[in-house]
Amino acid sequence: MNFNKNFSFLMIGQSFANIGDVLYIVSVISIIYDLKGSATAASFVPFTITTCMFISSIITPLLVGKVRLNWLMAGSQLGKTILLILLGFSLTGLTESNYFVVFIIIGFIAFLDGCANPIRQTLIPYYVEPEYLMKANGIAETVTQLIQATMWFVGSMFLLILSSQQLIWFVSCLFIISSFLLCFLETVYAETMKSARKIEQIKEGWEILFHTPVLRKIASIDLLEGFAGTVWIAAVLYVFVSDALEVEQKWWGFINGAFFLGLILGSLYCIKYASLVERKIGSFLLVGAFFSFLLTILFSLNSIPVFALVLSFGVGIFTQIKSIPQQTVIQTSLPKEQLSKVYSSLGAIGTGIFGIGSLLMGMLTDLLGVRMVFVLSSLLLAFVSIIIYKNKSLFASNSYFGKERN
């Protein structure tokens, strides 16, 4: 079927891009740390990326409707490729006096990423028939998490045999392949407000978000989960491993790996039992949210390293069992032409909250202790469970799927 070809090009092309993203970030962090000898300087790499993705999510709606969505996807990847090649050349004469050039270039790369992410999520319903949408979302999440779970480790291994600059050139090749594949995507147009002022185009996604009841609830959930999820960043988890579990720092990698394995297993479950998840979508959202809360509170109280692995694995499973059905609800709750604007707004919420939450959770860890921060995270997830429970019928409505089939 035609959508299989387009979905395949989208997934394979984006997979090459995602692999490259992780490897180039590993390379850049290594470059900055070697140059400055400062963990603080290196930490500004993810901060710069998050900030620029937030700005991009805000203004992406200005491009939607003016450029075909498939070309917006391919064009953003081509732009990233050019910028990465520029980064490779700039590393030749890099010194402490001009290293800021690296941050400028990765900022522009992140800006293009912030544009591509909502477009990728928007394109899936265009290329996949409604009855396969749950399975397609599961496949997309499985591929993404597999890449995330393996490439951070692989990236470190690459640096043992390649210099940071050589790794950048390798990633440039991956980006070129990705750009080539994405150019084969079938044309998709998105409607926009005719003769609307720029500020109205930017506001359109937010207005749709807050005037659609189910999306308004999802925005609230994303807000709470965004803050709750920042306890799993390296800065906080390092402290938990050291102070609460009292084990070597390598356990951070084990716990993080267990979480990603859980995400992968949750994705595979949603793929295998897609029809069941679709029929009981409200129940799966509630189960995923409740057990994420329960396992996080147990994690905060636990002092046994092996049990911490099991709990982290479980959090990953139930996080994904909730996340994939939630994506399907978003994609089927309004016309496809409006999805890119809504995803841009949700992306702005996610990146903005992550940036603020990371700094806030770091400060609260110093003030309250690392266990209390995980307790706070679990309480936020408890509020998510309450929101879903009180609005279960709203999430479970079959009209979302019906609108796509009619």
Ordered DSSP codes for 298-345: HHHH---HHHHHHHHHHHHHHHHHHHHHHHHHHHTSS-GGGHHHHHHH
**CA distance linking residue 274 with residue 269, whole number of Å:** 8
Q: Please determine, for residue 3, whether its predicted confidence score (pLDDT) is greater than 60.
A: no
**CA distance linking residue 387 with residue 369, whole number of Å:** 28
Taking a C-beta distance cutoff of 8 angstroms, is the pair 62, 198 a contact? yes
Q: Looking up tokens 């308004």, which residue turns up?
A: 216
Per-residue pLDDT of 28-64, as tens digits, reads 878 887 887 765 566 677 778 888 988 888 888 777 7
Beta bridge partners of 67: 64
Mean pLDDT of all residues in 272-294: 93
The proportion of the chain whose per-residue pLDDT surpasses 70, expressed as a percent, equals 91
Q: Take residue 252 and report the two structure tokens written for it.
A: 């951070």
SS3 content of the chain, % helix, strand, coil (to 5): 85, 0, 15
In this prediction, residue 255 has a pLDDT band, given cuts at 50, 70 and 90, of: confident
In this prediction, residue 400 has a pLDDT band, given cuts at 50, 70 and 90, of: very low
Q: Take residue 303 and report the two structure tokens written for it.
A: 């002092």
CB-CB neighbours of 103 under 10 Å: 18
Beta bridge partners of 297: none
Mean pLDDT of all residues in 348-359: 82
Q: Please determine, for residue 156, whether its predicted confidence score (pLDDT) is greater than 80.
A: no
Fold designation for 201-405: Growth Hormone; Chain: A; (1.20.1250)
**Helix axis angle, 164-182 relative to 2-36, nearest 10°?**
160
Element containing residue 392 per DSSP (H, E): helix 392-396
Q: Please determine, for residue 195, whether its predicted confidence score (pLDDT) is greater than 50.
A: no
**Helix axis angle, 281-301 relative to 305-331, nearest 10°?**
150
Taking a C-beta distance cutoff of 8 angstroms, is the pair 114, 351 a contact? yes
Q: Tell me the pLDDT of the chain averaged across its residues.
A: 85
Q: Coil, helix or strand for 67? A: strand
Mean pLDDT of all residues in 154-171: 85
The proportion of the chain whose per-residue pLDDT surpasses 90, expressed as a percent, equals 38
Say what the pLDDT of residue 40 is: 59
Say what the pLDDT of residue 405 is: 38
Q: Please determine, for residue 403, whether its predicted confidence score (pLDDT) is greater than 70.
A: no
Taking a C-beta distance cutoff of 8 angstroms, is the pair 81, 116 a contact? no
**pTM score, whole prediction:** 0.78
Q: Please determine, for residue 401, whether its predicted confidence score (pLDDT) is greater than 50.
A: no
Taking a C-beta distance cutoff of 8 angstroms, is the pair 114, 53 a contact? yes
Q: Which of 36-45, 251-260, 263-272, 363-372 has the lowest mean pLDDT?
A: 36-45
Q: Take residue 46 and report the two structure tokens written for it.
A: 């993810």
- Domain coordinates in residue numbering, the chain: 2-183, 201-405
Mean pLDDT of all residues in 63-92: 89
**CA distance linking residue 289 with residue 387, whole number of Å:** 10
Per-residue three-class SS string for 76-103: HHHHHHHHHHHHHHHHHHCCCCCCHHHH
Say what the pLDDT of residue 89 is: 92
Taking a C-beta distance cutoff of 8 angstroms, is the pair 144, 128 a contact? no
Fold designation for 2-183: Growth Hormone; Chain: A; (1.20.1250)
Q: Do domains 2-183 and 201-405 have the same CATH topology?
A: yes
Mean pLDDT of all residues in 194-218: 79
CA angle 89, 91, 94 (to 5 degrees): 130
Q: Coil, helix or strand for 271? A: helix
Taking a C-beta distance cutoff of 8 angstroms, is the pair 255, 241 a contact? yes
Q: Which amino acid would we find at residue 238? A: Y
Better-predicted residue by pLDDT, 199 or 297: 297
DSSP state of 242: I
Mean pLDDT of all residues in 258-280: 91
Q: Which amino acid would we find at residue 392? A: K
